[in-house]
Structure 1
Amino acid sequence: MTAATGIRIKWFSIFNYHSMAPSKEQLISKLRQDMLRWEGFRPPLPGAGHNLGLGPIAAAFPGSVFPTGAIHEFISSSPEDTAASGGFIVGLVQKLLNNGGACLWVSYTRRIYPPALKLFGVDPDRVIFVDVPLQKDLLWVTEEALKCEGVAALICETQSLNFTESQRLQLAVEKSQVTGFILRKDVKKANTTACMTRWQIRTVRSQLRTGMPGVGHPRWQVELLKVRNGKPGSWTVEWKKQSFQTVIIPQTIQPSRRYA
């Protein structure tokens, strides 16, 4: 082999190496995927059916997919907001139950009216209500229930949740892949938790059809306050035809005042 041939082979090897080396964007994308995996987020398997019908809200999550097998925290400061949060959660549970399994509803002061679940497409027979007499045992029962792989979703009504408690719940679902919803009531000040997301749901006046009496479809102001490796946002959402529908409310422009 001549010297010229050796030089050509060397330059070809260098060129081939640089052409096969991953780009900066590819390296960043892989690093983000690795970070999500290290933090417990698992991308859905092909055909797993994790589309919960959230529409534009789904774009706020990593990979535009609602994180199942994770803990989602909902905070409310009034009974009205608690009821709104419960309705929104049941709408999510309805989609999760399509893949089989049951839903557990854990609380120490149950105020849910089971037949009302049918409004959101959930048969009360698919929900197992667990009434815990002591609040101090509530999160222990929740943690043990989250370890059951046959459970599709779990809803826990509580008031307090510290970082260590939320971390234990998150570790439990990372193994069982159960989706947990923590509905915190009468929250005066939100503290740091290890939950995948934090939501705040408020009621919004429904829209009546012209000439029709009664009340309209349930409508909420949905605020995603925190989402791990995602994009928080705010949307107006309506529950209609057994699904979430994003509502675009036209902005009212106040006429400018003229002064003499």
Structure 2
Amino acid sequence: MPEQAARPVIAALRERIRHLEGAGRRACAALPFGLAEIDRRLPEGGLARGCLHEVAGGGGATDGAAAALFAAGIAARAGGKVLWCVMRRDLFAPALAQAGLSPDRVIFVEACDDKTALACFEEGLRHGGLGAAVAEIARLPMTASRRLQLAAERSGTIGMAVRRWRRATDAAEGAQPTASVTRWRVSVRPSAPLPVPGIGRPRWLLELVRCRAGEGFALEVEVGDAGRLALPAAVADRPVQAEIRLRASV
């Protein structure tokens, strides 16, 4: 079948899959990132509300911190109060504020283990009065993730599971399938050098590893004020620069 003729068929199949997989989900508008290069790649034009999403760091400790800030930026845009379940006392409130999430919007819950964190996470998603619920967890079994997804569907609350590995076995388990709608990986990249002494804006390699009814991608982004994502100047201006070089060569 020619590629052009196959496109309507593929689009219809994707719509059918979305209908079957989300038949019980409350109809909610998606939460856009505000960056067209990301939003146009997501099936609903943004991050689906009323769903469970996963995010993990690419490997190092700084990557884990970037993953938490990525989740904070999403929770900040969701509006309302945010439940944040932690097992380590290393969450830095000023960093959340820098990502756009004011500490006075956050309800912190300290859990002693994954089981307790997952239980608090599920209760937060079921509550229905929160803008978002976030939990820092290592293990996320399929059964638990299904319960979280169903709770999010019923309340319309967006859920973010920030995967934090304590052991190598946890990281290996993190590759196992779950009921989450999307799975993201965040890795820190060097910031652009400045013409004056100082530190440039943070840069991340943002990877959508899994997306239900969609396709994954990798994109380098720059983190601006209040956690807003943008393309680095070199990437954003690439088509213009290519056109300039083309004209110069004629």
* TM-score of the pair, normalised by structure 2: 0.80
1-structure distance, mates of 2:55, 2:6: 37
Question: Which has the higher Rg, Structure 1 or Structure 2?
Answer: 1
Size of the aligned set, in residue pairs, is: 223
Cα RMSD after superposing both structures = 2.5
More displaced 10-residue stretch of structure 1: 30-39 or 167-176: 30-39
* Selected match of 2:49 from 62, 68, 91: 68
Q: Distance in 1 between matches of 2:10 and 2:63?
A: 39
- Taking the aligned partners of 2:8 and 2:154, their CA distance within structure 1 comes to 29
Correspondent of 2:143 among 157, 161, 164: 164
How far the C-alpha of 1:54 sits from its partner, in A, is 3.2
Shift of residue 165, structure 1, vs aligned partner: 1.1
Aligned partner of 1:94 in structure 2 is 76
- 158-167 vs 74-83, which moves further: 74-83
Amino acid at match of 1:52: F
The one of 198, 223, 246 equivalent to 1:214 is 198
Please give the alpha-carbon distance, in whole angstroms, between the structure 2 residues aligned to 1:158 and 1:241.
27
Aligned to 2:67: 85
Aligned to 2:21: 39
1:198 aligns with 2:183: yes
* Inter-partner Cα distance in structure 1 for 2:213 and 2:110: 35
1:112 is matched with which residue?
91
Give the conservation status (yes or no) of the 8 Å contact 2:87–2:113.
yes
One-letter code aligned to 2:65? A
1:241 Cα deviation after fit: 3.5
Same amino acid, percent of matched pairs: 33
Equivalent-residue separation in structure 1 for 2:111 and 2:183 (angstroms): 24
Distance (Å, rounded) in 2 between the aligned partners of 1:24 and 1:249: 35
Letter in 1 for 2:128: E
Q: Which runs of 5+ in 1 are unaligned?
A: 1-22, 252-260
Q: CA deviation at 1:205?
A: 0.6
What is the deviation of 1:219? 1.1
Measured in 2, the distance between the counterparts of 1:30 and 1:43 equals 21
